[in-house]
């Protein structure tokens, strides 16, 4: 097995109050993902994380979710994914009602549908209703300048870390290049084994 290439970017590891966090709140081991909701590879990793890490019965794998802080940051590649910024705004708007990850799940699950649509905002509103969000507030938040600022902050953070593709992961500030899901999982397990 090839050893993953790693480059260190300490700024990526700084978690702010506007970041979307799940798994462990402790922030001792931090895994940051830069993702694009319209990116097919991002969907594959999202599905893998949901199915293989978050819902597993394997106690060793459950330790990943218990001890690692997962941070999601948007990095919409609008030059190749024209609706990715709109999707990031929908997730952020849902986040204002504490449903960021639930909206992220719906965006990835329905990626083929909204990515092909001429009017994805209508689908995003339907997802908001499915999540029982306040639809009026959701629509106001979609066009809010603070949501645009949050996404731009995520993008700048990724650019400072030389990000060029999605998904890109940073573990403890180290840029991780893995070639398989198994290698990704093993890297997380190895990190846990080394931590106090």
Each residue's pLDDT tens digit in the chain (196 positions)?
A: 565 555 899 999 999 999 999 999 999 999 999 999 999 999 999 999 999 999 999 999 999 999 999 999 999 999 999 999 999 999 999 999 999 999 999 999 999 999 999 999 999 999 999 999 999 999 999 999 999 999 999 999 999 998 989 999 999 999 998 889 999 999 999 999 998 7
User: How far is it, in rounded angstroms, from Cα 46 to Cα 39?
Assistant: 11
What is the rounded distance in angstroms from the CA atom of residue 65 to the CA atom of residue 53?
7
Give CA–CA dist 38/52, Å, rounded: 21
Q: How far apart are CA 103 and CA 94, in angstroms?
A: 6
Gap between the Cα atoms of 33 and 141, Å rounded: 23
Domain that holds residue 119: 5-194
Position 5 scores a pLDDT of 56
Question: How many structural domains are present in the chain?
Answer: 1
Q: What is the pLDDT of residue 6?
A: 53
The Cα–Cα gap between 43 and 28 comes to 27
41: CATH: 3.40.30.10
């Amino acid at each position: 097995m090839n050893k993953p290439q790693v480059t260190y970017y300490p700024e990526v590891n700084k978690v702010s109050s506007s970041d979307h966090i799940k798994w462990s709140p402790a922030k001792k081991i931090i895994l940051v993902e830069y993702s694009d909701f319209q990116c097919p590879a991002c969907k594959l990793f999202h599905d893998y994380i949901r199915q293989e890490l978050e819902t597993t019965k394997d106690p060793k794998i459950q330790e990943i979710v218990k001890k690692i802080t997962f941070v999601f940051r948007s990095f919409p590649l609008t030059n190749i994914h024209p609706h990715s910024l709109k999707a990031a705004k929908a997730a952020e708007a849902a986040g204002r009602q504490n449903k960021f990850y639930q909206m992220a799940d719906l965006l990835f699950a329905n990626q083929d549908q909204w990515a092909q649509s001429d009017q994805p905002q209508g689908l995003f509103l339907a997802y908001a209703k499915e999540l029982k969000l306040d639809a009026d507030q959701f629509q106001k938040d979609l066009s809010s300048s603070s949501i645009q600022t949050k996404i731009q902050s995520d993008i700048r953070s990724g650019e400072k870390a030389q990000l060029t593709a999605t998904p890109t992961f940073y573990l403890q500030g180290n840029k991780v290049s893995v070639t398989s899901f198994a290698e990704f999982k093993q890297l997380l397990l190895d990190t846990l084994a080394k931590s106090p």
